[in-house]
Amino acid sequence: MGPMPANDDSQHFVRVRQDIETPLTTLRTEPGMALYLYARSGDSVSAGTVGQDYVAFQHNRTNLTFAVCDGVGQSFMGDLAARIVGDGLNDWLWALDRPTDEQDFAQQVTEALNELTETSAGQVTAYQLPAHLPAIVMQALEMQRRYGSEAMFVAGRIALDGPDPWVALCWLGDAPVAAIDIDGKLVDLGPHGRTSERWNATTGVKGTVHTWVGSARHVARVAGYTDGLSMGHGNVPTDADLERLMKLWATDPPSDDASLFDVRLAPSPATTGQKLLPAPVVPAEQQPGPIEARPIELPDGERTPISGMSPITAEKPANPAESWRPLERQEKQAAPEKPAGEPETGGTLTIELPDLSKLAEGKDLSTREAIRVWQQAAMAGLTSAALAISMTIYLLKEQEKGNKPDSHE
Amino acid sequence: MAYTVPATSKTPALIVYLLDVSGSMGEEISGKPKIEIISDALHQVAVRMVQRSTKGTTVAPRYRIAMYAYSSQVTDLLGGIKTVAELAQMGVPRLQPMDATDTAAAFREAERLLNAELGNLQDCPAPLICHMTDGEYNTGGDPEPIARRIMNLAVPDGNVLIENIFVTDKALTQAVSDPKNWQGVTDETPLASPYAETLLRMSSQIPTTYASVMAEMGYRLSPGARMFFPGNAPEIVELGFAMSGATPVTPVMAP
């Protein structure tokens, strides 16, 4: 079970380590269930060196920022640029007000990244290379230093407070990939950028920053991942893909570094590959005010949290958490001791859902059972905590009004 | 036959150097012995290969290198094929001028190596032979038939490539004044010596993907140019050796 989410406004910053593998890991945050992974290339594993990717994110009760960065090989210490731009974007995005539009956002990101070079250029100059390196390698790296340290990235902000929750994503280069699950569909936010687009820690942005800005109301998932996780043809990895890759990499590391950050704001069959429980319909006027600021709307008549999806009633639902339950850590791959001061990271999560067979049999759940379903779904990250609370309040009110006797208790 | 397979750790590029160390390599050009210019250029290409193979401080084994020096005999300078990481550890050997020039013997050694290796290179970039000389063979016979056999060897990525660096001022009718903007030697380029024509016939056409990599380095070689670099300026020698390390290292679309 991962750490409990903070139930206050405190800010939590998670930096995924570059020197070890992080299997597909879940962390329950209040905005949604975060998944992340980090797999170094076979070359880096063999040489015992850090990976060139970098993943970092931060969250509080209503906000989340993230960055997935891909240090450019053949530039000077691409892992350095990846760290600098990843941390810099997280800090900057955290303080961001909702952009007017995508063009405005792209301009702001470009300006912020160019300003970042005021400090990052010095970090590249001051970077100490290991003294034990062969002369040819040292000479090659010093030539690269003159060229600069470069990274590509995808980063984003999810803001769920206020009456109009929003998502803003930005990316530069042809990797990593930005993807969202919106209106029940997985969308690879193409067209991708170009290989020549990167952020240089000395000279700033090369090429054009690409952006996506929109309402969070119908967004079920936001993900960024490096090309090691690319499914090709614009396909976004599903939970089954992630599970398959983690199994593969356990014995055969990827040829290139691979990393992912992925946050689930609501359940979606497109991502999980599983059918959903039919969600009770909540009239909009009965939802408590603050809850309406959350990303998922349930307009009258809709039977799932994702607009455009048909309700599923005929089949006995499979365990909806099963497909994206993180892989258990192997005993032999026990996580190394966390250095003092290391930020919190998640663990694996075991999800226990109540018996839902009654639904499949066409029977109603009791109020207590229904509440438990919503609580467990929220704990599993299948829906937001706010929506679960909203549903709990609604069910209790209905019970008080006598509309739904607890006949099964 | 597109020469698009990138050099990676799992599909490394095999580069074989055949280096003439005959007595004439002790002669000077621009106040420096040719052999030293060659050694410096070899060092530079090693640095460039390392640059193209690094991820942080890790040198990925994207290149496998064999290096033969020849005069009247052929000497294996590295003791077999080495990865670029191993070469970085060993350093590039300094060359010494010897005696005669048995070019055919060197190409025979390359052919033997390729015949032994080719079965394992089916998923790899086409191998490249980089031959550097400053004059015509004076023992061992004509190397051209062997070179032709080598050029007919192939892997799915393409036929084996042969490149010739001819360190002389007697190959071109007009010396190259600006190597960075030079368009290279094509079949129509007038040559000033029969041996230059022989070496041209022994030189593969520059694949488009290699030309793109060279363009990134600032060279402007024209389509149709051959892997033939005649001249006695250090910049031409450097250009020739730079070409030997120009195997693509990232996936490229077939032209």
Predicted pLDDT at A398: 67
Nearest to B57 among A49, A195, A257 (CB): A49
Please state which of the ranges A28-37, A67-76, A263-272 shows the lowest mean pLDDT.
A263-272
Q: What is the mean pLDDT of chain B?
A: 92
Query: Would you say residue A321 has pLDDT above 80?
Result: no
Nearest to A52 among B43, B46, B55 (CB): B55
pLDDT tens digit sequence for A159-187:
998 888 999 999 998 777 787 888 777 77
Nearest to A255 among B10, B48, B56 (CB): B10
B249: chain A residues, CB-CB within 8 Å: 74
Predicted pLDDT at A309: 31
Predicted pLDDT at B1: 57
CA–CA distance, A134 with A120 (Å, rounded to integer):
27
Contact of B51 with chain A, judged by CB distance below 8 Å, is answered with yes
A74 or A376, greater pLDDT: A74
CA–CA distance, B46 with B50 (Å, rounded to integer):
6
Please state which of the ranges A54-68, A96-110, B49-63, B114-128 shows the lowest mean pLDDT.
B49-63
Q: Which residue of A has its CA nearest to B251?
A: A195
User: What ipTM was reported for this prediction?
Assistant: 0.86
Distance between A251 CA and the closest CA of chain B, angstroms: 16
Q: What is the CATH number of the domain that holds B191?
A: 3.40.50.410
pLDDT tens digit sequence for B206-222:
999 999 999 988 999 99
Distance between B90 CA and the closest CA of chain A, angstroms: 8
Nearest to A43 among B51, B58, B91 (CB): B58
Given an 8 Å threshold on Cβ–Cβ distance, is B51 in contact with A74?
Answer: yes
Give the predicted TM-score (pTM) of the model: 0.73
Interface test with A, best of B43, B58, B90 (most A CBs within 10 A): B58
A129: chain B residues, CB-CB within 8 Å: 57
Query: Would you say residue A325 has pLDDT above 70?
Result: no
Please state which of the ranges A27-36, A335-344, B35-44, B223-232 shows the lowest mean pLDDT.
A335-344
Given an 8 Å threshold on Cβ–Cβ distance, is A49 in contact with B47?
Answer: no
Predicted pLDDT at A323: 33
CA–CA distance, B70 with A348 (Å, rounded to integer):
62
Predicted pLDDT at B252: 62
Query: Would you say residue B138 has pLDDT above 70?
Result: yes
A266 or A343, greater pLDDT: A266
For residue B230, name the pLDDT band (cuts at 50, 70, 90).
very high
pLDDT tens digit sequence for A114-130:
999 999 999 999 999 99
Contact of B81 with chain A, judged by CB distance below 8 Å, is answered with no
Nearest to A43 among B48, B55, B87 (CB): B55
User: Does residue A191 have a cis peptide bond before it, meaning omega lies within 30 degrees of 0?
Assistant: yes
Query: Would you say residue B135 has pLDDT above 80?
Result: yes
Domain count across chain B: 1
B16 or B95, greater pLDDT: B16
B1 found inside a domain: no
DSSP letter at A69 equals: E
B43: chain A residues, CB-CB within 8 Å: 136
Distance between A229 CA and the closest CA of chain B, angstroms: 16
pLDDT tens digit sequence for A294-305:
333 333 333 333
Predicted pLDDT at A355: 47
Average pLDDT value for residue range A100-110: 96
Buried (b) or exposed (e) across A381-404, using 16+ Cβ within 10 A? bbbbbbbbbbbbbbbeeebeeeeb
B255 found inside a domain: no
Given an 8 Å threshold on Cβ–Cβ distance, is B57 in contact with A135?
Answer: no
Contact residues of A toward B, CB < 8 A: 41-44, 47, 49-50, 52, 71, 73-74, 77-79, 129-130, 133-137, 139-141, 143-144, 195, 255, 257
Query: Would you say residue A262 has pLDDT above 50?
Result: yes
CA–CA distance, A291 with A374 (Å, rounded to integer):
15
Average pLDDT value for residue range A246-270: 85
Q: Which residue of B has its CA nearest to A131?
A: B57
Both tokens of residue B98?
A: 């010897």
Taking alpha carbons only, the member of A69, A68, A168, A150 closest to residue A109 is: A168
3-state SS string over chain B?
Answer: CCCCCCCCCCCCEEEEEEEECCHHHHCEECCEEHHHHHHHHHHHHHHHHHHHHEECCEECCCEEEEEEEECCCEEECCCCCEEHHHHHHHCCCCCCCCCCCCHHHHHHHHHHHHHHHHHHCCCCCCCEEEEEECCCCCCCCCCHHHHHHHHHCEECCEECEEEEEECCCCCECCCCCCHHHCCCCCCCCCECCHHHHHHHHCCCECCHHHHHHHHHCCCCCCCCCECEEECCCHHHHHHHHHHHCCCCCCCCCCC
Q: Which residue of B has its CA nearest to A130?
A: B57
Query: Would you say residue A111 has pLDDT above 60?
Result: yes
Contact predicate B88/B46, CB 8 Å: yes
For residue B130, name the pLDDT band (cuts at 50, 70, 90).
very high
CA–CA distance, A166 with A157 (Å, rounded to integer):
8
B30 found inside a domain: yes
Distance between A48 CA and the closest CA of chain B, angstroms: 9
Given an 8 Å threshold on Cβ–Cβ distance, is B47 in contact with A140?
Answer: yes
A177 or B109, greater pLDDT: B109
For residue A57, name the pLDDT band (cuts at 50, 70, 90).
very high
Residue A208's CB is within 10 A of a number of other CB atoms, namely: 12
Contact of B50 with chain A, judged by CB distance below 8 Å, is answered with yes
B191 found inside a domain: yes
pLDDT tens digit sequence for A133-148:
999 999 999 999 999 9
B122 found inside a domain: yes
For residue A196, name the pLDDT band (cuts at 50, 70, 90).
confident
Contact of B9 with chain A, judged by CB distance below 8 Å, is answered with yes
A174: chain B residues, CB-CB within 8 Å: none
CB–CB contacts below 8 A, A to B: 70
Predicted pLDDT at B103: 96
CA–CA distance, B168 with B175 (Å, rounded to integer):
10
Given an 8 Å threshold on Cβ–Cβ distance, is A74 in contact with B52?
Answer: yes
Helix (H, G, I), strand (E, B) or coil at A91: helix
Predicted pLDDT at A131: 92
DSSP letter at A339 equals: P
Residue type, A70: D
A49: chain B residues, CB-CB within 8 Å: 55-58
Residue B249 burial class via C-beta count within 10 angstroms: exposed 0-12, middle 13-18, buried 19 and up = buried
Residue type, A177: V
Predicted pLDDT at B112: 98
Print the domain residue range for B157: 13-244
A344 or A55, greater pLDDT: A55
Average pLDDT value for residue range A78-101: 97
A175 or A65, greater pLDDT: A65
Taking alpha carbons only, the member of A15, A21, A1, A27 closest to residue A330 is: A21
Given an 8 Å threshold on Cβ–Cβ distance, is B89 in contact with A139?
Answer: no
Distance (Å) of CA A87 to CA A59, A70, A200, A226, B27: 13, 13, 15, 17, 57
CA–CA distance, B106 with B113 (Å, rounded to integer):
11
pLDDT tens digit sequence for A7-19:
557 889 999 999 9
pLDDT tens digit sequence for A379-395:
665 555 655 565 566 67
Predicted pLDDT at A334: 38
B165 found inside a domain: yes
Please state which of the ranges A89-98, A305-314, B13-22, B134-143 shows the lowest mean pLDDT.
A305-314
Contact of B101 with chain A, judged by CB distance below 8 Å, is answered with no
B34 or A109, greater pLDDT: A109
Predicted pLDDT at A192: 63
Contact predicate A78/A71, CB 8 Å: yes
For residue B29, name the pLDDT band (cuts at 50, 70, 90).
confident
Residue type, A113: L
A130: chain B residues, CB-CB within 8 Å: 57
Domains and CATH numbers, chain A: 12-270 (3.60.40.10), 275-317+352-400 (no CATH)
Q: What share of chain A has pLDDT > 90, as a percent?
A: 42
B10: chain A residues, CB-CB within 8 Å: 42, 255
Given an 8 Å threshold on Cβ–Cβ distance, is B56 in contact with A137?
Answer: no
Distance between A234 CA and the closest CA of chain B, angstroms: 17
Strand pairing class (A204-206; A198-200): antiparallel
